[in-house]
Amino acid sequence: MLDIDSDKWLEAMKSKMDSMDSNQVWTLVDPPKGVRPVACKWVSKRKLGADGEVTAFKARLMVKGYTLNLGRL
């Protein structure tokens, strides 16, 4: 990551992963033979206060919907 705030972005991603782990969002399993996992990517956003200053760094793990094969879920 080449951003000047890369350490804050990594902290936001780690916080999100810890939250998903503690909420038991998923269970890791081996994929069935011949099935590829759905791809995902991190989406990040700076939250700004009323004065325009950065108040928080938010990170979300999003599925790449265009990689889905409909009807094969």
Give the pLDDT confidence of 44-71 residue by residue, as tens digits. 999 999 999 999 999 999 888 776 666 6
pLDDT digits (tens, 9 = 90+) for 1-53: 677 888 999 999 999 999 999 999 988 899 889 888 888 999 999 999 999 99
pLDDT at 67: 64
**Residues in the chain, total:** 73
Query: What gap in Å lies between CA 12 and CA 42, rounded to an integer?
Result: 11
Task: Classify burial at 19, counting beta carbons within 10 Å of its beta carbon; exposed 0-12, middle 13-18, buried 19 or more.
Answer: exposed
Query: What gap in Å lies between CA 6 and CA 45, rounded to an integer?
Result: 12
- Strand, helix or coil for residue 33: coil
